[in-house]
Every structure is written in structure tokens, then in C-alpha cells.
């Protein structure tokens, strides 16, 4: 069965303190790995798609990377507005399977 595990569950950073979020997965025939951002009371917002091991995508202070077993979301010099829950999802043959998310808090 396809599984997606995100760690840590919660992460508190000081403004400017860089860190990484992890998404490990077990799936047969990965078609794509997706990262989303979710703010409280809102729906997830699509950030990146990664299709193959070694691929990287960047957007402002965020960089996503992919290996054959896991993906990392690196956050460089975060700001308070980066506070949100970050969701990872994988797609194999059919539906997109989501992890439980990492709740990121960035303190000024």
C-alpha cells in the first residue's frame, strides 16, 4: 500500500533559521511527488511537482528535492509569513496520497 510519512510533525524556527522538512514515501511506480502549503482555515495551495530522482524546484525561500525514497523541502532564512502546514503527496497509478503534514511556525 502506498504510504507517505512526513517529519517532523511540528517545527518551530526563529526568523532567519534555515531548516528542512522531510517526506518519505513507499509507492510503486511514482508518477510525481507534490508539495502544498496550507494556511489555517484554507485549502492547500500547490507549490511544486517533482517527477524524478535528482530533480530540484525552487520558489522564493523554498527548495524541494527528490530522491528515490524521500523528498526534502528546504526553507532558507524563513520569515514569519512562511508559517503554515506543509503537505507532501505522491501519485502513483491513480489517486494522490497525502502525508499528515508538518506544521511550521516561524517566530520573529
Partner 1 sequence: NAGVTQTPKFQVLKTGQSMTLQCAQDMNHNSMYWYRQDPGMGLRLIYYSASEGTTDKGEVPNGYNVSRLNKREFSLRLESAAPSQTSVYFCASSESHRNYGYTFGSGTRLTVV
Establish if 86 lies at the interface with partner 1 (CB under 8 A): no
Strands 32-38, 84-91: parallel, antiparallel or unpaired by DSSP?
A: antiparallel
Q: What is the helix (H) or strand (E) element at residue 84, kind and residue range?
A: strand 84-91
Site string for partner 1, 2-41 (x = CB under 8 A): --x--------------------------xx-x-x----x
d(CA 24, CA 70): 4
Site string for partner 1, 42-81 (x = CB under 8 A): xxxxxx-x-x------------------------------
| Interface contacts to partner 1, rule CB under 8 A | 4, 31-32, 34, 36, 41-47, 49, 51, 87, 89, 91, 94-101
Amino acid at each position: 500500500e502506498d504510504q507517505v510519512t512526513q517529519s517532523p510533525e511540528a517545527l518551530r524556527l526563529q526568523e532567519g533559521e534555515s531548516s528542512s522538512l522531510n517526506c518519505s514515501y513507499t509507492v510503486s511506480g511514482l508518477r510525481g511527488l507534490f508539495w502544498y502549503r496550507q494556511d489555517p482555515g484554507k485549502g492547500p495551495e500547490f507549490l511544486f511537482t517533482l517527477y524524478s530522482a535528482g530533480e530540484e524546484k525552487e520558489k522564493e525561500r523554498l527548495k524541494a528535492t527528490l530522491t528515490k525514497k524521500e523528498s526534502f523541502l528546504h526553507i532558507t532564512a524563513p520569515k514569519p509569513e512562511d508559517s503554515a502546514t506543509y503537505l507532501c503527496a505522491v501519485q502513483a497509478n491513480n489517486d494522490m496520497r497525502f502525508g499528515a503534514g508538518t506544521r511550521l511556525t516561524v517566530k520573529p
